[in-house]
Amino acid sequence: MSESNLVARSDVDEEQVSGAEVIAQALKTQHVEYMFGIVGIPVTEIAVAAQKMGIRYVGMRNEQAACYAASAIGYLTGRPGVCLVVSGPGLIHALGGMANANMNCWPLIVIGGSSERSQETMGAFQEFPQAVRSSTYGRPGACYVDIPADFVNLQANVNSIKFMECCLPPPVSMAEPSAVCAAASVIRHAKKPLLIIGKGAAYAHAEEGIRKLVEQCGLPFLPTPMGKGVIPDNHPNCVGAARSRALQFADVIVLFGARLNWILHFGLPPRYQPHVKFIQVDICAEELGNNVKPAVTLLGDINAITKQLLEQFDKTPWQYPPESSWWRTLREKMKSNEAASKELASQKSPTMNYYTVFYHVQEQLPRDCFVVSEGANTMDIGRTVLQNYLPRHRLDAGTFGTMGVGLGFAIAAALVAKDRNPGQRVICVEGDSAFGFSGMEVETICRYNLPIILLVVNNNGIYQGFDADSWKELLKFGDATVVAPPVCLLPNSHYEQVMTAFGGKGYFVQTPEELQKSLRESLADTTKPSLINIMIKPQATRKTQDFHWLTRSNM
């Protein structure tokens, strides 16, 4: 070997890499595409190294919102997003995002820079592949990786580092064949069947199979809030508009990736028949039999199990009679519910109510847009009016009922849209209170020039507020800390100015005409974000419901 060759060899041998670069390389190898966070000592170098590796870095204004954004990436793409935080307060802020991701069963990796490593804690680099694996295998969830500060800037010989390969995609498990037969038989004998489609089905990309099952067997289905769009909301078999009725009288319910938690009223009377037969399809064994004694449990991947069920119905074709009294009941209820909300939407009072707002939004909503939503009535009523036509295109407060997720989710969705489907829009429908939690992320939206349309449905308060005159009257009786109802927020707040402050477009609208016009303009402009601050009646409420939204336990 010539001398010059030797020199070159030893150069390679001694090629130095920093801890930050090793971390970035490990993330890249695991196909991580996006990182959100707020930098500081000791994690700044990690963000810089990640960018150099081709990972997109989005600097946010609060770790909580960063963590929400990273978790939404996990749900939308199936690969975990990364949230990068500093230790101490940064990590504490991120806790909200980790809890929310866990509750939603969404993969997420949080990387925190901790203090200098004490002598006994070592081997953190090799924890990356494991973090990706444990966040995506089985029931998805959040993972935390702690990086000692001195690891980040440590220089090491590249040959001394054991780089890991990308972990395999999650293994697909199928349900026990006998259980599949049993489930098919229970469905065949149902008098009042119902499929419930949850966000687990959306995450599992089971849309094709579930749609086939619905159409082939003629079954009514009900999407959960984020299950909306797995099959389009306007599908003739969607009974979303008769939700309570469908739950209350079904005799067989198949749950595709939806838990019987508070959102589904625990699966118990009075919201359900006492002897309703549940067929649970879930990837998490511990979930099966929670709150109810299921008739059949199908443990495994929803997509695979749906195919197993389809095989049964291919072998022995069966269709639920389309003219059954169950279908009649459901259709009648849907018609009357739809008429009732149309009636509320067309009320001609000077100030708008929720229904008027959402009807006008729905009219202009692009079919392929992402709909992000949070708030109390804003989210609940919005969900019934705003339609989803595509799977994984609705993001909201979720299982944890978390407020403050909206802007982070919208940012994540906008990045995914930009990279995978340019021109696709993100509409983020916020209550005024919900907007406040992460409102400063508007600066993030403007900095990265993401053409998100933010709608703030403003009723001057949490649940309900006061109009400006009543607020003034109220303050005559004393200091706001003493006399103001805790639900009140400042009346007529100009949230749209948060957007104009950073160069986006802001609108303050009070009439349906103004709303229509501002929406048209915002949708036409694909280059800029906008915020439409929509004033509604401070005391506007929901149409009367058969049941209180939160079923109190009477088990």
| Residues in contact with Mg ion by the rule CB under 5 A | 431-433, 459
Instruction: Name which of 230 and 434 has its Cβ closer to ligand ADP.
Output: 230
Give which of Mg ion, ligand ADP, none residue 459 binds (C-beta under 5 to 8 Å, depending on kind): Mg ion
DSSP state, residue 170: P
* Site track 458-497 with ligand ADP (rule: CB under 6 A), x = hit: ----------------------------------------
Query: Residue 151: in which H helix or E strand, if any?
Result: helix 149-153
Of 45-53, 254-262, 265-273, 477-485, the segment contacting ligand ADP by CB under 6 A is 254-262
Residue 282 binding ligand ADP, by CB under 6 A: yes
Residue 257 binding ligand ADP, by CB under 6 A: yes
Residue 443 binding ligand ADP, by CB under 6 A: no
Q: Which of residues 390-409 bind ligand ADP (CB under 6 A)?
A: 399
- Which pairs count as long-range contacts for 264-268, CB under 8 Å and 24+ apart, including other chains? 264/196, 264/224, 265/547, 265/551, 266/291, 266/292, 266/551, 266/553, 266/555, 267/291, 267/292, 268/292, 268/551, 268/555
Give which of Mg ion, ligand ADP, none residue 25 binds (C-beta under 5 to 8 Å, depending on kind): none
Residue 224 binding ligand ADP, by CB under 6 A: yes
CB neighbours of residue 265 within 10 Å: 21
CA–CA separation, 313 and 308 (whole Å): 9
In the numeric block, the tokens 């005559």 are attached to 476
- Helix ranges restricted to H, 230-353: 243-249, 302-315, 325-345
Determine phi and psi for 523, rounding to 5 degrees: -70, -30
Q: How far is the CB of 48 from ligand ADP (least distance, A)?
A: 34
Q: Which of 23, 50, 105, 532 binds ligand ADP (CB under 6 A)?
A: 105
Q: What is the dihedral of CA 453, 458, 463, 469, to 10 degrees?
A: 170
Paired residues of 371 in beta bridges: 394, 427
Q: Which of 142, 263, 279, 417 binds ligand ADP (CB under 6 A)?
A: 263
Instruction: Name which of 140 and 431 has its Cβ closer to Mg ion.
Output: 431
Paired residues of 86 in beta bridges: 113
Q: Which of 258, 344, 489, 536 binds ligand ADP (CB under 6 A)?
A: 258
Alpha-carbon torsion (208, 214, 215, 216), positive or negative: positive
Give which of Mg ion, ligand ADP, none residue 491 binds (C-beta under 5 to 8 Å, depending on kind): none
Q: Which of 227, 229, 461, 538 binds ligand ADP (CB under 6 A)?
A: 227
DSSP state, residue 382: H
CA–CA separation, 115 and 126 (whole Å): 19
Instruction: Name which of 206 and 385 has its Cβ closer to ligand ADP.
Output: 206
User: Count of H helices and E strands in the chain?
Assistant: 22, 18
DSSP state, residue 289: T
Distances (CA, A) of 415 to 70, 397, 451: 11, 20, 10
Q: How far is the CB of 232 from ligand ADP (least distance, A)?
A: 17
Instruction: Name which of 360 and 383 has its Cβ closer to ligand ADP.
Output: 383
Q: How far is the CB of 358 from ligand ADP (least distance, A)?
A: 21
Residue 502 tokens read as: 């950073």
Q: How far is the CB of 356 from Mg ion (least distance, A)?
A: 16
Instruction: Name which of 396 and 432 has its Cβ closer to Mg ion.
Output: 432
222 within 8 A of 243, measured Cβ to Cβ: yes
Residue nearest to ligand ADP (CB): 200
Q: Which of 23, 60, 195, 302 binds ligand ADP (CB under 6 A)?
A: 302
Of 5-13, 90-98, 257-265, 346-354, the segment contacting ligand ADP by CB under 6 A is 257-265
Total number of residues that touch ligand ADP (CB under 6 A) = 23
Task: Tell me whether strands 370-374 and 142-148 are parallel, antiparallel or unpaired.
Answer: unpaired
Give which of ligand ADP, Mg ion, none residue 291 binds (C-beta under 5 to 8 Å, depending on kind): none
Of 45-53, 61-69, 129-137, 278-286, the segment contacting ligand ADP by CB under 6 A is 278-286
CA–CA separation, 382 and 361 (whole Å): 9
Report the length, in residues, of the chain.
Answer: 555
* Site track 181-220 with ligand ADP (rule: CB under 6 A), x = hit: -----------------xxx--xx----------------
Residue 301 binding ligand ADP, by CB under 6 A: yes
Q: Binding residues for ligand ADP, per CB under 6 A?
A: 104-105, 139, 198-200, 203-204, 224, 226-227, 257-259, 261, 263, 282-284, 287, 301-302, 399
